[in-house]
Amino acid sequence: MAPADDDALDRAARLLRPAKRVAVLTGAGISAESGLATFRGAGGLWEGQRVEDVATPRAFERDPALVWRFYNLRRANLATVAPNPGHLALVALEQRLGPGFTLVTQNVDGLHQAAGSRNVLEIHGGLRRVRCVVCERVTDRGIEPLADLPRCEKCDGMLRPDVVWFEEALPEDVWQRAVDAVQTCDCFLVVGTSAIVYPAAGLIDVARMEGADVIEANLQPSAASSRVDVLLLGPSGTMLPELIKKLE
Ligand code: OAD
């Protein structure tokens, strides 16, 4: 590792070590080393597929089978992936902090929970769950393949993935808990997100406004990098374990 990287890790550790309350925001980048594609950039999910065709309420009204094929593929992908050292480092951080730790994730892949993280707020929903568009009942269907047009077992209404699409509001209760955690944290760690999708990216401004130290880990500078205290430039599967090691 280059000396500059080590210096950034030292500075990040100095901010993180005394923090009693830590909030973390993760994006698709933390799961990249598990083998899941991120959204933007070369090879990203949105490169081969227009957002408007598969991830908006209108897309689902127009062609629910197409939307379900997209999400069934993503669900099937989950069978082939496992948490990586980045996810595990956040489990170690939670063990260190106990109830002072909150993990806010934009990811729908469930890898934080699979790794062992407990206080996880899925602000964009979860791929394993489905929701009835009529009775709103939410059920966990694991990663079993679903029909192209699955129906609710209770009311026979159409089922949709329990994820947040563009133009939709975030789940209110989960979002409020995320804002509370970020407002009250001493240190905010932002990992593997391009930080361009709001309101999630706005949590960085909330943390700064409330005076928290902000550390970012990303393979490359993001839209947030100019307003963080320390940028750890590199893969999160390396940077996060290194950072945790420095806390000891
Ligand atoms: P993006 O695809 O926009 O950004 C992924 C980020 O991860 C980029 O900044 C990469 O540089 C970084 N990255 C890639 N590999 C990495 C690695 N090994 N270690 C660290 N960083 C790495 O994904 P998100 O920011 O998560 O929303 O996207 C935000 C939201 O937009 C998603 O939740 C989804 C999407 O459209 C909805 O579907 C509602």
Q: Using one digit for the tens of pLDDT, what is the confidence trace for 201-224?
A: 999 999 999 999 999 999 999 999
pLDDT at 1 over 80: no
Same domain, residue pair 46 and 64: yes
pLDDT at 4 over 70: no
Same domain, residue pair 243 and 189: yes
Same domain, residue pair 202 and 139: no
State the average pLDDT over residues 57-76.
94
Name the residue range of residue 53's domain.
42-79+131-163
**Ligand 1 in reach of 197 Cβ (< 6 A):** yes
- The closest residue, in CA terms, to atom 37 on ligand 1 is 165
- In percent, the amount of the chain with pLDDT more than 70 equals 98
Same domain, residue pair 210 and 100: yes
Average confidence score pLDDT of the chain: 95
Same domain, residue pair 191 and 225: yes
CA of 190 to the centre of ligand 1 (A): 11
Same domain, residue pair 156 and 233: no
**Ligand 1 in reach of 85 Cβ (< 6 A):** no
Same domain, residue pair 52 and 70: yes
Supply the residues annotated as catalytic: 124
pLDDT at 140 over 90: yes
- The closest residue, in CA terms, to atom 8 on ligand 1 is 194
Q: Find where tokens 């990586």 sit.
A: 84
CA of 194 to the centre of ligand 1 (A): 5
CATH number at residue 54: 3.30.1600.10
Same domain, residue pair 88 and 197: yes
- In percent, the amount of the chain with pLDDT more than 90 equals 89
pLDDT at 2: 56
Same domain, residue pair 119 and 178: yes
State the average pLDDT over residues 11-23.
98
Are 193 and 200 spatial neighbours (Cβ–Cβ below 8 Å)?
A: yes
Index of the ligand 1 atom closest to the CA of residue 40: 2
pLDDT at 43 over 90: no
- The closest residue, in CA terms, to atom 32 on ligand 1 is 106
**Ligand 1 in reach of 193 Cβ (< 6 A):** yes
**Count of the separate structural domains present in the chain:** 2
State the average pLDDT over residues 131-153.
94
State the average pLDDT over residues 44-56.
85
CATH number at residue 10: 3.40.50.1220
Same domain, residue pair 229 and 179: yes
Same domain, residue pair 65 and 47: yes
CA of 139 to the centre of ligand 1 (A): 26
**Ligand 1 in reach of 216 Cβ (< 6 A):** no
Angle at 109 between CA 107 and CA 110, to 5 degrees: 100
Task: Output phi, psi for 121, to 5 deg.
Answer: -110, 110
**Ligand 1 in reach of 44 Cβ (< 6 A):** yes
Angle at 162 between CA 224 and CA 160, to 5 degrees: 130
**Ligand 1 in reach of 39 Cβ (< 6 A):** yes
Task: Give pLDDT tens digits for 157-214.
Answer: 999 999 999 999 999 999 999 999 999 999 999 999 999 999 999 999 999 999 999 9
pLDDT band for 48, please (50, 70, 90 cuts): confident
Are 188 and 141 spatial neighbours (Cβ–Cβ below 8 Å)?
A: no
Task: Output phi, psi for 146, to 5 deg.
Answer: -110, 160
Task: Show Cβ contacts of residue 178 under 8 Å, excluding neighbours closer than 6 positions.
Answer: 23, 102, 104, 121, 123, 203
Q: What is the distance between the alpha carbons of residues 229 and 209, in angstroms, rounded to a whole number?
A: 13
Alpha carbon distances (Å) from 29 to 98, 102, 167, 223 = 25, 18, 23, 14
Same domain, residue pair 177 and 207: yes
